[in-house]
Amino acid sequence: MGWLKGVAINPATTPEYVEWRSRRINDNVPMTKMEEVRPMEEYLQVIPSELDIMKQEFKRKNLELEKKIEKLEEEKMYLSLDVDLQKKEVEKVRKEKKKVEEDRDDLKEEYKKAQVSLK
């Protein structure tokens, strides 16, 4: 038996006190709701390290850059096709110009011959 400020605490307690105490203790114990219970796998998941996070970020940025490179290569191909088309157009114009110049030179020759024959 212990003494607390002159009041003796009797180890024998009343049934009401025992019930009150058990209710009081049980009321303080949080009960888990089934919808709040997480599967064991979630508790066992490893938190990714800083290196893992950096690797994931690197992979993501690498994928973005690969897509940009792919797009640029596609644009380059279209530009290359456009250049080829323009080169063909230039070559066609040069041929036409040469033909016109040859026709002009032929006309000049015929004109000179005509003038000589008229004299």
CA neighbours closer than 13 Å in the CB half-sphere of residue 98: 6
Confidence of residue 53 (pLDDT cuts 50, 70, 90): very high
Q: What is the pLDDT of residues 58-106, one digit of tens each?
A: 999 999 999 999 999 999 999 999 999 999 999 999 999 999 999 999 9
- The pTM (predicted TM-score) of the whole model is 0.40
C-alpha 87/C-alpha 31 separation (Å) is: 81
